[in-house]
Amino acid sequence: MDAAASRTLADLVLAVHVGFAAFVVLGLVAVLVGGGCRWRWVRNPWLRAIHLAAILLVVAEAWGGIACPLTTLETALRDRAGDATYDGTFMAHWLRQILFHDLPPAVFVAAYSLFATAVAASWWLVRPRAFRTAP
């Protein structure tokens, strides 16, 4: 794979990473707002289960001291492209500004854990519909 392809794939991985983070954060906002506005789709049990699983995955990585696989993959692709890890294209620069912050790991463990608690609490505040079973 040439440098341009590696760089493009790294940008794609970064975009997926930002999308994942947006799903987790904006998902909770949508559930809380949607519960008040009586939006039916925020009570979808599959959406809610996937949302909860997503933040629990982040929490498990943080508590376990495990590097995010998306970050690891992006870094490997940027290395293969010959890019500095935190330099690259315009898109990569701005998406990285949104996603990454230079704080101690304990701050992220606490923030992710508190956010997961808020997502779990949303199951009581805005109850999802029951999972349907096959007849």
For 70-114, what is each residue's pLDDT tens digit?
988 998 998 998 877 655 555 566 667 777 777 788 888 898 999
CB-CB contact of 21 with 112 (8 Å): no
Q: What is the pTM of this model?
A: 0.82
Burial class (CB in 10 A: 0-12, 13-18, 19+), 91: middle
Q: Where are the beta strands (DSSP E) in the chain?
A: none
Q: What is the pLDDT of residue 87?
A: 54
pLDDT for the residue 126 = 96
Looking at 34-38, 88-92, 121-125, 130-134, which range is the least confident one?
A: 88-92
Give me the count of residues in the chain: 135
* pLDDT, greater one: 87 or 4: 4
The overall average pLDDT reported for the chain is: 88
Domain boundaries, the chain: 3-125
State the Cα–Cα distance between residues 87 and 93, nearest whole angstrom: 7
